[in-house]
Amino acid sequence: MSGSLAPADEAGIAAAVLAAAAAGEPLAIEGNGSKAGLLRPVQAARGLSTRGLTGITLYKPAELVLSARAGTPIPQIEAALAEHGQHLIAEPPDTRAVFGSDLPATLGGIVATNLSGPRRIAWGSMRDHVLGVRFVNGQGEVLRSGGRVLKNVTGLDLCKLLAGSHGTLGIMTEITLKVLPAPEASATVAVPVADLAEGVRVLSAGLGSPFGVSGAAVLPEGYEALRGPVALLRIEDFIPSVAYRCGRLAAEFPGAILIEEAASRALWRAIRDLGPLGAAPGEAIWRLSARPSAGAGLAACLGGRALLDWGGGLVWLAAEASEANHRRVMAAAEAASASFTLFRAPDALRAAVPVINAEAAPLAAIAARIKAALDPGLLFNPGRMRAGG
Amino acid sequence: MIRQPDPKPEVLARAPEIVAALRAIVPDGPLGHGVISDARRLKPYETDGLAAYRQPPLAVVLPTTTEQVAALLAYCNRMGVRVVPRGAGTSLSGGALPLADAVVIGMMRMNQILEIDYADRFAVVQAGVTNIGITKAVEAAGFFYAPDPSSQLACMIGGNVMMNSGGAHCLKYGVTANNLLGLTFVSIEGEVIKIGGDHPDAAGLDWLGLITGSEGQLGLVTEVTVRILRGPEGARAMLAAFDGNEVAGQAVDAIIGSGIIPVALEFMDRPAIHACEAFAHAGYPLDAEAMLIIEVEGSVAEQDDMLARIRDICAQFNPISMKVAESAEQSAAIWKGRKGAFGAVGRISPDYLCMDGTIPTSQLPFTLRRIGEMSADYGLQVANIFHAGDGNLHPLIMFDANDADSFVRAEKFGADILRLCVEVGGCLTGEHGVGVEKRDLMGVQFTARELDQQRALKTAFDPQWLLNPSKVFPLDGLPASASMPMAAE
């Protein structure tokens, strides 16, 4: 890339897009670039960053609504919410350690990648809480979708289309989120299990209980004094409810121990950020989403390290970054009707292989027309999600 | 009155040939006629929940398989025939209103539950299964399907997907879009496409999110994979009555501000309280200006704890009265009035329009004051029911359908309320959809270019604009490919 632009405002982003359109030069769209290693390397002459667009523009705690410019760092938003006892519902991960980035993720980057943490299983994904966006399309037009109210079905939902589109359809400049009160207490019931499959059965029993489990993961290699795989069920609520519900859950599982408050919070932050996966610096990381009962089987497909979240349905794998390993993951995903993402890998590997599932041909045709409708000059993040797309 | 596009003369001229082709795709079977085309039998399909508008279609087809739906759409696409999808026909925005040259594809015969998996917590159902039918199928195991629109006894999951339906309990559990995992989607070309799966957050573009709430503009849905949830140990409701809308609104803010998210938080104004009480004898306080119904979940002890916290909060706003249900029966009595609200209003007024806008909750007192002023100006009564936690307002405007002027005033009044919703920072529709009802107001919320962008997305799915045309988008400004000429007014 011959340089990266970081305009200070939305008009600057629009102007940069118009200039790129006039020059016919594609753009690598990013926030802080903290997840530049995700999916495929972008083939673009220049970078265009939203990191200059910062600041919370609206926050109404009683209305559960927060708007911020796309370049606002996530920690700044979390801090503002914490002042009012609220939090980001989807618990998005801090991927600095995974991608070796010094800079934190921006709001735009987290929404564009639709990354959600453990709470997703109970409370929904990042995209579920996007109420409205302002964005710049490939013709340099500033457009809006959604709004700043919690319920809104007016017109086609471009918010969801843009969330998870990895900057390939439009550049979000401002995002409005639904937020919620942060729970008063957090605690975790930890259950030693024989293997991952038994762990998933424990998670399934926990999620099938009436106690409102808000995190359900299997640690592959123990927790403190507990050896071997450990199934974890988190309860977040008011203090009396957490005590009562954890007690009821623990009674269901022999050998269960309780992990309380600070330790519980730290544990789930670590799971959110893939700490327990223990991926070595040079290893590749895969992310699979499947029906939970397929999780243990998928976790074994490489014989390497695995971390199960979302009741067993979110499978993280770490192993040698080789095309052979990737083909194994793809085959296992295919067999289990799972969704796969090559989450982290050296550039050479992620440029050489499909990093996400192929789209059925009729859907790919619609996708090409959608791309043409939003980004007719094919300027935004070429090659990010799929080769040639 | 809402204008509709002219029928395509070339389609009307070929009606017998089209009906014969449809019959070849969906023959008569044990469930009855596959295709309906005689005027008498078309009658039930000429309108939906927006009963002020009626138009018999060219024909109604009642497929029983995804393959038939695919063949129907491929045929209509080839012949340039417009298609109007229909579930139970409960849309309050006219989402299923036919056109004279359109084929209505009714999904009610695709009403099978295909798979239930409690361990992985999902169910696969056909589009014509009713909303309540999903919960009924899983409740013996303690599970439920969360979104609960008021029409849930009748409305079908396919229609819920197309309108992204909500309900009283979506403050905690989210709307339809938040409770879906996958779809079987049929494009206008007749391609059967699996969207998502039995797991969340498939990699790639969020087709599930784009299709949900698309009001039949992008394609048809024949099967739906929904998330099913284990229900709580129990739930209980309380009433709090106040002597003004303002203080009731402040109580709502204080409850949310305290960190409590009740599973439901409903607001009724004085006319709504009186209408519902006369109908349901639920023991509502007739001296109140505003009333909240607040429901919490959990064990009995948890319910007690939460209701005590909420009672303490409400006590700070000089309530006229508060009543905490002591049992499930008392809870049901509290809900009976609210759930019967539409019927209750129907008893005091021959006809009503049920509006559906969303506002920032802080704007409630101002919005209700303005609605009260408009009510006086238009000479029409209005009762307001409000999903207070999420700002979704349902004014019920009472009118007399036998008095043409009364209906015209009611429509104008409704449009003014929705403009007001947008003005104070809200939107035109929270859960009923745009349909034909709010189509011509879209320019109040969106710029011309924003509408063009949305239209371009529709065109990407439906290049000829055959799918549920004349809904959602104002007729002025349609792309030339939509081929929707209109006679001058």
Q: Is residue B264 part of a domain?
A: yes
Last residue of a domain, one of B308, B326, B342: B342
For residue B488, what pLDDT band results from cuts at 50, 70 and 90? Answer: very low
- Reply yes or no on whether the pLDDT at B485 is more than 70: no
- Are residues B89 and B149 both part of a single domain? no
* A141/B contact by beta carbon, under 8 A: yes
Q: Is residue B316 part of a domain?
A: yes
**Chain B: residue whose CA lies nearest to A125:** B201
Same fold, A1-182+358-389 and A185-272: no
- Reply yes or no on whether the pLDDT at B248 is more than 70: yes
- Are residues B205 and B166 both part of a single domain? yes
What is the per-residue pLDDT for B487? 46
Taking an 8 Å cut-off on Cβ atoms, the answer to whether A161 and B191 are in contact is no
Last residue of a domain, one of B209, B230, B251: B230
The residue among A153, A241, A245, A249 with the most chain B CBs within 10 A of its CB, best to mutate, is A153
Taking an 8 Å cut-off on Cβ atoms, the answer to whether B450 and A62 are in contact is no
Residues of B in contact with A124 (CB under 8 A): 174, 178
Each residue's pLDDT tens digit, A73-99: 999 999 999 999 999 999 999 999 999
Each residue's pLDDT tens digit, A250-261: 999 999 999 999
- Reply yes or no on whether the pLDDT at B489 is more than 60: no
Looking at B258-363, list the stretches that DSSP marks H as alpha helix, in order from N- to C-terminal side: 270-280, 300-315, 328-339, 341-348
The CATH number for A1-182+358-389, chosen from 3.30.110.30, 3.30.465.10, 1.10.238.10, 1.10.3720.10, is 3.30.465.10
* B189/A contact by beta carbon, under 8 A: yes
- Are residues B88 and B127 both part of a single domain? no
Half-sphere exposure of B125 (CA within 13 A, CB side): 31
Do B119 and A204 meet the contact criterion of CB atoms below 8 Å apart?
A: yes
Helix (H) or strand (E) holding B322: strand B321-324
Mean pLDDT, range A290-298, rounded to an integer: 97
Q: Is residue B476 part of a domain?
A: no
For residue A195, what pLDDT band results from cuts at 50, 70 and 90? Answer: very high
Each residue's pLDDT tens digit, B64-111: 999 999 999 999 999 999 999 999 999 999 999 999 999 999 999 999
Mean pLDDT, range A342-356, rounded to an integer: 98
For residue B56, what pLDDT band results from cuts at 50, 70 and 90? Answer: very high
Q: Is residue B254 part of a domain?
A: yes
- Are residues B213 and B118 both part of a single domain? yes
- How many Cβ contacts (< 8 angstroms) between chains A and B? 256
Exposed (0-12), middle (13-18) or buried (19+): which is A131, by Cβ within 10 Å?
buried
For residue A389, what pLDDT band results from cuts at 50, 70 and 90? Answer: low
Residues of A in contact with B204 (CB under 8 A): 164, 339, 356-357, 359, 385
Mean pLDDT, range A267-273, rounded to an integer: 98
Q: For A275-352, CATH number?
A: 3.30.70
Taking an 8 Å cut-off on Cβ atoms, the answer to whether A208 and B118 are in contact is yes
Do A276 and A219 meet the contact criterion of CB atoms below 8 Å apart?
A: yes
Q: Is residue B404 part of a domain?
A: yes
- Are residues B337 and B353 both part of a single domain? no
Taking an 8 Å cut-off on Cβ atoms, the answer to whether A155 and B177 are in contact is no
- Reply yes or no on whether the pLDDT at B193 is more than 70: yes
Residue range of the domain that includes B337: 235-342
CATH number at residue B197: 3.30.465.10
For residue B486, what pLDDT band results from cuts at 50, 70 and 90? Answer: low
What is the per-residue pLDDT for A331? 98
- Are residues B245 and B201 both part of a single domain? no
Six-digit token string for B37 = 């085309």
**Total structural domains within chain B:** 4
Taking an 8 Å cut-off on Cβ atoms, the answer to whether B434 and A155 are in contact is yes
Q: Is residue B447 part of a domain?
A: no
Among candidates B204, B206, B472 on the partner chain, residue whose Cβ is nearest the Cβ of A160: B206
Taking an 8 Å cut-off on Cβ atoms, the answer to whether A240 and B302 are in contact is yes
What is the per-residue pLDDT for A326? 98
- Are residues B82 and B118 both part of a single domain? no
CATH number at residue B271: 3.30.70.2190
CA nearest to B256, candidates B147, B357, B172, B169: B172
Mean pLDDT, range B121-127, rounded to an integer: 98
Q: How far apart are CA A204 and CA A217, in angstroms?
A: 10
Domain boundaries, chain A: 1-182+358-389, 185-272, 275-352
* B120/A contact by beta carbon, under 8 A: yes
Among candidates B207, B256, B260 on the partner chain, residue whose Cβ is nearest the Cβ of A363: B207
Q: Which of residues 1-60 of B touch A (CB under 8 A)?
A: none
Taking an 8 Å cut-off on Cβ atoms, the answer to whether B210 and A293 are in contact is no
Each residue's pLDDT tens digit, A324-348: 999 999 999 999 999 999 999 999 9
Q: Which of residues 285-324 of A touch B (CB under 8 A)?
A: 289-293, 310-311, 313
Using DSSP, state whether A86 is helix, strand or coil: strand
ipTM of predicted complex = 0.97
**Chain A: residue whose CA lies nearest to B393:** A151
- pTM reported for the whole predicted model: 0.97
**Which DSSP string do the residues of B434-473 spell out, in sequence order?**
-TTTTGGGHHHHS-HHHHHHHHHHHHHH-TT--BSTTSSS
CATH number 3.30.70.2190 is the correct assignment for the domain at A185-272? yes
Residues of A in contact with B453 (CB under 8 A): 137, 141, 143, 158, 373-374
Q: Is residue B485 part of a domain?
A: no
Min Cα–Cα distance to chain B from A246, Å: 13
CATH number at residue B91: 3.30.43.10
Each residue's pLDDT tens digit, B339-371: 888 888 888 888 999 999 999 999 999 999 999
Q: Which of residues 394-453 of B touch A (CB under 8 A)?
A: 425-434, 438, 442, 445-447, 449-451, 453
Do A211 and A249 meet the contact criterion of CB atoms below 8 Å apart?
A: yes
DSSP code at position A359: P
What is the per-residue pLDDT for B234? 95
Q: Is residue B47 part of a domain?
A: yes
**Chain B: residue whose CA lies nearest to A156:** B214
- Are residues B67 and B155 both part of a single domain? no
Taking an 8 Å cut-off on Cβ atoms, the answer to whether A289 and B200 are in contact is yes
Six-digit token string for B167 = 């309900």
What is the per-residue pLDDT for A377? 97
- Reply yes or no on whether the pLDDT at B223 is more than 70: yes
Q: How far apart are CA A114 and CA A167, in angstroms?
A: 11
Min Cα–Cα distance to chain A from B306, Å: 9
- Are residues B334 and B427 both part of a single domain? no
Looking at chain A, list the stretches that DSSP marks H as alpha helix, in order from N- to C-terminal side: 10-23, 74-83, 96-99, 107-113, 120-123, 158-162, 196-207, 239-252, 261-272, 295-299, 323-335, 347-352, 361-374
- Are residues B333 and B381 both part of a single domain? no
* A277/B contact by beta carbon, under 8 A: no
Taking an 8 Å cut-off on Cβ atoms, the answer to whether B301 and A62 are in contact is no
Do B392 and B431 meet the contact criterion of CB atoms below 8 Å apart?
A: yes
- Are residues B216 and B321 both part of a single domain? no
Each residue's pLDDT tens digit, B27-41: 999 999 999 999 999
Last residue of a domain, one of B342, B375, B406: B342
